[in-house]
């Protein structure tokens, strides 16, 4: 029987989830795979802290005692943070240890660097737990669907914002009310910035784009817009046209460029992503050879812990795999990154105007001039001299929309362009 | 660079899809994984037949020329049928060749036998393409979610029947009309028996149950009921209670027994499976540590071909893996199989009665006697002496329902029990 010793870096929610699953499954893994997986060291900050169910003898505060332990073949990084995690990850890899990571913040910044180090040292670097705990999207893209060429990866990747938008859509809450409810229920953190500004989704789509298109896309390359400006009115107008507003994270390869972005998007009610509600996550993969969607909760100790365990078992299997075959993805392709203005999309526009004869003709003439076809339009009189125009365009370039709006904003009758949103 | 030679057994839809993807991806696989995968032989019945894009020099009608070719490490069985495929699969494995199979009919009958042979010969047996082409459910259960313990696997596993039920539900077609439309559109085969009787779904849930619960469940162990008796009226009554009728394939471990079954089921409209429409497939995995759902088209040359290719690349990686680690699943557990009557479920009943005072009291007394609570009931007067009672029970044992119905059917006022359906 092969014995595989493992060290955990960190013993928080994911770390203890991983520890417990490995303990529960130890006998099963012996029986099925002939491997005996044992956690032999756990790096923590404070040994004295009470940790229910964790053997105290495994705890250490000294990373070097793990690094120099030749019996440890796999290091599991579940400590979070960026700088220290990066240092430990690279040190472990350079010491020829296989690394399993749940750290999306780090991977969304240093993916290519870490993969290159893993290749140089002929070790596995695995990261299923870094995106969407209960949804095994990394393995699906990297392994099962390796025969596919992806056009687009679409995701609802953040449970907090999806919960807020669901509450606004279903129960008519305002953004503030929905956020408050999410906070009270523990779905939103005390400081919800990273979620509501779209940063958490951006990190995840950076990783998913990198593996789907095999070209590094970092957090800094993602165009991001959060949900803080969405109003109940936006949601109602979207409904009127048959759409639901979702915070989508989208990676796509189009006309030889890769673009990754996160923004509120009008999703047609007939698209399966429109029905992904509450704190659920979902990822929709679009490929010539058929679409696939995955759905589940995003986070939690056991979902994320089981993603880590899947990677550990896989790493055990790959220990003897030939060089180059130990890692599923490389960022080897030389493809340019595109700008938001390169995107072709249907657009949803909300414009506030005065109530004057000829307003609509003036505005629509600017769309015509920029070759933008209008699919639907509604005009709502809010008060005597206050009109809201909602316009759904056919597919057009974002650049042409920007140009049209620049001219439209100059009209005296136009009070303001309230919002513009892309449509899936 | 490692060179891996492959033989295809069969060159139909899936075989040629596999061939084309391998050709397209050859350079990519060299770059990323350092493996050069080449198809060097293809077994066909008739060499003269025109096959666009396939190199004629690869074709052979002689299986032994593949079996005795020491340079071939992986055999891909995409020929279908049972007996001959079984013979070739076992011969290839016994000749120490790794086998990738798309043959659900065979695996649903001989899974444990084939896995044992693979283990004895220290070769890979992979079968992602055997269930739901575009949905990588085998890899998700066997690899990514290896850290989970499943309670239940629920699937809409047959596109034809889902298309028919969708048409009946959405457009009010009768079963006959919907089947005719499915046939005209090529969704249903000329002889639709295997689909509409639930046999195709039964083969798939046999395989999924075997890997989820690690105990062989064969096609013969699955309790099967098709959709041929579903009426427009059933669908309307289900709607009234907030349910959609779907042909579900269900594998579950409950009270120490494994039960696999396929039957029309009332799915609550709030469950994500209720929204899986047209010819789409979906699989819902229920585990203590979080639920996951996958969604996509079931079949087709490229979806199924890409599932085969995923298995081929994985097999290349595992060639040097230690014994026991080459295969992801074994049917090692010693668990009993259960009967339908062991199931606890909400039930939907449709009973035709005369229009007489006291009928409802008589019938409901029998439910009470068998400890069955009623959740909802509707009574519809069809004609002067013709009443339809629809009853939705709370969770109860199927056995208690059978007992209650046995007594109810004896009442003079009861014309017939029209249908009973389980509720998800």
pTM strictly above 0.90 = yes
Contact A306 B330 (CB under 8 A): no
* Residues of chain B with C-beta less than 8 angstroms from the C-beta of A316: 325
Q: How far apart are CA B193 and CA B190, in angstroms?
A: 9
Partners of B288 on chain A (C-beta within 8 Å) are: 302
The count of other CB atoms within 10 Å of the CB of residue A332 is: 13
Q: Which of A25, A134, A290 minimises the CB distance to B292?
A: A134
Contact between A303 and B289 using a beta-carbon 8 Å cutoff: yes
Residue A340 gets which letter from DSSP?
G
Only one residue has tokens 């499915």, namely: B182
Q: Are strands B72-77 and B98-101 parallel, antiparallel or unpaired?
A: parallel
State whether A144 and B300 contact (CB < 8 Å).
no
**Who's near B262: CB < 8 A, 6+ residues apart?**
B198, B201, B202, B205, B222, B223, B224, B225, B226, B247, B248, B249, B250
- Integer Cα distance of B80 and A286 in angstroms: 29
Please name the residue ranges forming H helices in A48-141: 63-67, 83-94, 104-120, 137-139
Q: What is the pLDDT of residue B301?
A: 82
Who contacts B342 (Cβ-Cβ below 8 Å, separation ≥6)? B254, B255, B257, B259, B397, B398, B399
Contact between chains at A303 and B290 (C-beta distance less than 8 A): yes
How far off is chain B from A27, nearest CA to CA, in Å? 12
Q: Are B143 and A290 in contact (CB < 8 Å)?
A: no
How many angstroms separate the CA of residue B261 from the nearest CA in chain A? Answer: 24
| Closest by Cβ to B320, choosing from A24, A144, A322 | A322
How close A336 comes to chain B (CA, Å)? 18
- Interface contact flag, B143 A314, Cβ < 8 Å: yes
To the nearest whole Å, the CA of B383 is away from the closest chain A CA by: 39
User: Which chain B residues are closer than 8 Å to A32 by Cβ?
Assistant: 214, 324, 329-330, 332
Q: Among the options B204, B346, B350, B366, which is catalytic?
A: B204
Task: List, as ranges, residues 295-334 from A with C-beta within 8 Å of B.
Answer: 295-297, 300, 302-303, 305-310, 313-314, 316-318, 320-325, 329-330, 332
d(CA A118, CA A123): 5
* Residue numbers in A near B324 (CB within 8 A): 32-35
| pLDDT for residue B382 | 86
B23 is catalytic: no
A254 backbone dihedrals φ, ψ, rounded to 5° = -140, 130
Name every chain A residue with its beta carbon within 8 A of the beta carbon of B134: 289-292
Decide if pLDDT at A325 tops 90: no
Distance CA A328, CA A139 (A): 9
Tokens in use for A343? Answer: 């995107």
Question: Helix or strand or coil: residue B151?
Answer: strand
Residue among A401, A149, A275 nearest B273 (CA): A275
Angle subtended at Cα A292 by Cα A289 and Cα A295, rounded to the nearest 5 degrees: 170
Cβ–Cβ below 8 Å for B296 and A293:
yes
Secondary structure (3-state) at A245:
strand
Quick one: pLDDT band at residue A323, thresholds 50, 70, 90?
Answer: confident
- Identify the sign of the CA torsion B300, B301, B306, B311: positive
Closest-CA distance of chain B to residue A240, Å: 21
Question: What does each of the 424 residues of chain B score in pLDDT, given as a tens digit?
Answer: 899 999 999 999 999 999 999 999 999 999 988 899 999 999 999 999 989 899 999 999 999 999 999 999 999 999 999 999 999 999 999 999 999 999 999 999 999 999 999 999 999 999 999 999 889 999 999 999 999 999 999 999 999 999 999 999 999 999 999 999 999 988 888 899 999 999 999 999 999 999 999 999 999 999 999 999 999 999 999 999 999 999 999 999 998 999 999 999 999 998 999 999 999 999 999 998 889 999 998 777 888 999 999 999 999 999 888 777 888 888 999 999 999 988 999 999 999 999 998 999 999 999 999 999 999 999 999 888 899 999 999 999 999 999 999 999 999 999 999 989 999 9
Q: Which residues of B touch A151 (CB under 8 A)?
A: none
Nearest to B25 among A33, A140, A147 (CB): A147
Q: Which of B31, B147, B321 sits opposite A321 (nearest CB)?
A: B321
Residue B123's contacts (CB-CB under 8 Å, 6 or more residues apart) are: B93, B96, B97, B98, B99, B326
ipTM of the complex in this document: 0.92
Out of A34, A145, A306, closest to residue B325 by CB: A34
Which residues in chain B are closer than 8 Å to A39, comparing Cβ atoms?
none
Tell whether A78 is within 8 A of chain B (Cβ): no
**Residue B147 to residue A289, Cβ atoms within 8 A:** no
What is the nearest CA distance from A348 to chain B, expressed in angstroms? 26
């Amino acid at each position: 029987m092969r014995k595989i010793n493992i060290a955990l870096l960190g013993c928080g929610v994911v770390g203890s989830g991983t520890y417990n699953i490995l303990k529960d499954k130890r006998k099963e893994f012996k029986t099925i795979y002939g491997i005996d997986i044992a956690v032999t060291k756990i790096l923590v900050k404070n040994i004295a802290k009470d940790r229910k169910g964790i053997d105290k003898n495994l705890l250490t505060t000294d990373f070097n005692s793990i690094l120099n332990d030749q019996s440890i073949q796999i290091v599991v990084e579940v400590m979070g943070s960026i700088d220290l995690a990066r240092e430990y990850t690279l040190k472990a890899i350079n010491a020829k240890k296989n690394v399993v990571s749940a750290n999306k913040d780090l991977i969304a910044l240093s993916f290519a660097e870490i993969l290159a180090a893993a290749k140089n040292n002929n070790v596995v670097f695995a990261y299923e737990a870094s995106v969407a705990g209960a949804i095994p999207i990394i393995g699906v893209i990297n392994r099962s669907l390796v025969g596919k060429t992806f056009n687009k990866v679409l995701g609802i990747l953040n449970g907090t914002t999806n919960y807020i938008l669901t509450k606004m859509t279903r129960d008519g809450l305002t953004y503030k009310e929905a956020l408050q409810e999410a906070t009270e229920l523990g779905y939103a953190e005390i400081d919800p910035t990273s979620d509501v500004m779209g940063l958490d989704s951006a990190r995840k789509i950076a990783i998913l784009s990198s593996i789907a298109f095999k070209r590094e896309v970092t957090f800094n390359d993602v165009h991001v817009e959060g949900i803080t400006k969405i109003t109940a009115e936006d949601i109602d107008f979207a409904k009127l046209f048959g759409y639901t507003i979702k915070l989508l994270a989208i990676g796509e390869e189009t006309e030889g460029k890769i673009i990754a972005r996160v923004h509120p998007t009008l999703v047609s009610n007939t698209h399966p992503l429109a029905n992904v509600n509450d704190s659920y996550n979902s990822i929709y993969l679009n490929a010539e050879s058929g679409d696939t969607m995955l759905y589940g909760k995003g986070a939690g100790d056991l979902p994320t812990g089981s993603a880590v365990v899947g990677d550990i078992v896989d790493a055990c299997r790959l220990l003897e795999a030939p060089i180059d075959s130990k890692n599923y993805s490389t960022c080897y392709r030389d493809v340019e990154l595109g700008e938001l203005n390169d995107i072709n999309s249907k657009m949803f526009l909300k414009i506030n105007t005065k109530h004057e004869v000829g307003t609509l003709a003036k505005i629509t003439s600017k769309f015509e001039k920029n070759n933008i076809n209008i699919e639907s339009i509604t005009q709502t009189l809010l008060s005597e001299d206050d009109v809201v125009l909602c316009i759904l365009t056919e597919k057009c370039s974002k650049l042409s929309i920007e140009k049209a709006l620049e001219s439209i904003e100059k009209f005296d009758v136009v009070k303001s362009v309230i919002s513009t949103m892309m449509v899936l």
